[in-house]
Amino acid sequence: MTPPEDNVAGPDVPASDGPAAVLSCLEVLQKRSDFLKAARARRQNVRGFILQARKRGPDEVADHVRVGFTCSKKVGNAVARNRAKRRLRAIAHEVLRVKGRAGWDYVLIGKAGVTADRAYVDLVNDLRYALKKVHS
């Protein structure tokens, strides 16, 4: 595998300095403290999942949209939780790249028996509605 800093296009073409195109503007939340801060902020309950959103403070970097995903054991066994999180990642990638605001953290929480089984189009519409409500 070629390291990302190598210029594989050749000597004439400059290498891009930007991040990978897959999650170019989305950064994934990793720290528990970020999830806890989002839990104390705005919340919107929709049919397919729960959206928590918070605007980062002035002392934090505000040039990316950050997103986190979580599913408790109430959602089901590991297979069901992973399926629900996979679906949440897919809708976040589709919607938050366009509708998400830089400087905001979003956490999508899966619901038992709904997130994994709800139609994908309905989940996308749920996220669009939840973003509209949270930002209003």
Predicted pLDDT at 63 = 84
* 6 is a domain residue: no
Flag whether 4 is in a domain. no
Domain assignment present for 11: no
Give the predicted TM-score (pTM) of the model: 0.79
Q: Establish if 126 belongs to a structural domain.
A: yes
Q: How far apart (Å, rounded) are the C-alpha atoms in residues 100 and 109?
A: 17
Q: Could you report the per-residue pLDDT of 105-116, keeping only the tens digit for each?
A: 999 999 999 999
- For residue 13, is it within any domain? no
Residue 8: inside a domain = no
Q: What is residue 15's predicted lDDT score, i.e. its pLDDT?
A: 47
* Residue 17 domain-assigned (yes or no): no
Q: Is residue 117 part of a domain?
A: yes
The pLDDT assigned to 61 comes to 81
Q: How far apart are CA 31 and CA 134, in angstroms?
A: 23
Number of domain units in the chain: 1
What is residue 108's predicted lDDT score, i.e. its pLDDT? 97
Residues of the chain with pLDDT under 70: 1-25
CATH of residue 119: 3.30.230.10
Query: What is the structure's pLDDT at 5?
Result: 61
User: Which residues form the domain of 50?
Assistant: 26-135
Give residue 83's pLDDT: 94
